């Protein structure tokens, strides 16, 4: 997801904001432009930063998530590229101004990030619903434009989400591989209340993702599969615990082969579901 935040359009379904982009440049998690923006520093976390996750099954049972609301934000959208006037509109993300949305990146073979994130989201939704959660998506299909990163965050806020997961894939230099989870850095007076629970969500998702997919932590960004940022609208504007997951580097041959596989995308969805379940069960 070296492409980051993107285009406006309001949906009746819910979730977070900002994602990846068309330009593939290291450090652009979540938008279509390369610059990563200001950060508060990488988060390794003494609690679990250096531990190797185990593939133990989820500790939740049937309907264990009853009453919980999860917002899934599939980054970008299939119609973004055809509407630059919409997605290039600048929006306020508190720490700066960014495009309303972006096109996302793609593999060298042409598999687009927006299609990847949508497929993972549609696989993830029934897994969480089976546990009793109410699941809201920030877009209903992969044919529209946007919604804007600000609206994606607003969707999750209005839904009073217990957890928000924004799904992306990176467009870093081909030599880098692996996944990482992006957590919100402190934007004083705006997201103070969600920084700590978002970190717990990030740790739970990171451990489940590594155990379930076998992918290593990213070799090119962050530390121990974690990164903290204050330039992403989806995190800055969220009032609910939220993380971004860069599921792998689409420009890396090995990662791209995995992300392009339907069977592997099912593993990704199952891993994300386990991480969310463990976070909510423990919280």
**Active-site residue numbers?**
246
**Residues counted in the chain:** 283
Backbone angles phi, psi at 86, to 5 degrees: -80, -50
Q: At what angle do helices 195-213 and 262-282 cross, to 10 degrees?
A: 140
**Residue appearing with tokens 């928000």:** 164
Q: Do residues 72 and 124 lie in contact, with contact meaning Cβ atoms separated by under 8 Å?
A: yes
CA torsion through residues 21, 198, 175, 211, sign: negative
Q: Strands of 134-137's sheet, edge to edge? A: 134-137, 69-74, 163-170, 242-249, 180-184, 226-229
**CA dist 180 to 23, 91, 243, Å?**
19, 26, 10
Contact, 111 vs 249, CB < 8 A?
Answer: no
């Amino acid at each position: 997801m070296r492409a980051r935040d993107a285009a406006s359009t309001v949906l009746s379904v819910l979730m977070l904001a900002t994602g990846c982009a068309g330009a593939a440049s290291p450090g652009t998690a979540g938008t279509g432009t390369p610059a990563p923006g200001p950060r508060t520093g990488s988060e390794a976390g003494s609690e679990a930063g250096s531990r190797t996750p185990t593939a133990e099954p989820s500790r939740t049972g049937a309907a264990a998530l009853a009453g919980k609301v999860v917002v899934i934000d599939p980054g970008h959208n299939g119609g973004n590229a055809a509407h630059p006037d919409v997605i290039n509109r600048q929006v306020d993300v508190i720490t700066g101004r960014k495009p309303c949305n972006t096109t996302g990146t793609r593999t060298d073979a042409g598999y687009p990030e927006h299609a990847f994130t949508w497929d993972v989201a549609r696989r993830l939704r029934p897994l969480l619903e089976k546990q009793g959660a109410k699941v809201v998506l920030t877009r209903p299909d992969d044919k529209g434009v946007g919604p804007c990163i600000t609206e994606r965050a607003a969707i999750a806020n209005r839904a009073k989400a217990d957890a928000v997961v924004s799904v992306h894939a990176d467009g870093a230099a081909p030599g880098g591989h692996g996944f990482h989870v992006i957590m919100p850095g402190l934007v004083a007076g705006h997201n103070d209340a969600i920084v700590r629970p978002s970190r717990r969500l990030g740790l739970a998702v990171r451990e489940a993702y590594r155990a379930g997919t076998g992918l290593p932590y990213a070799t090119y960004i962050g530390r121990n599969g974690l990164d903290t940022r204050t330039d992403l609208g989806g995190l800055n504007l969220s009032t609910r615990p939220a993380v971004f997951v860069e599921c792998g580097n689409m420009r890396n041959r090995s990662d791209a082969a995995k992300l392009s596989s339907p069977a592997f995308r099912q593993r990704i969805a199952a891993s994300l579901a386990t991480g969310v379940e463990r976070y909510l069960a423990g919280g």
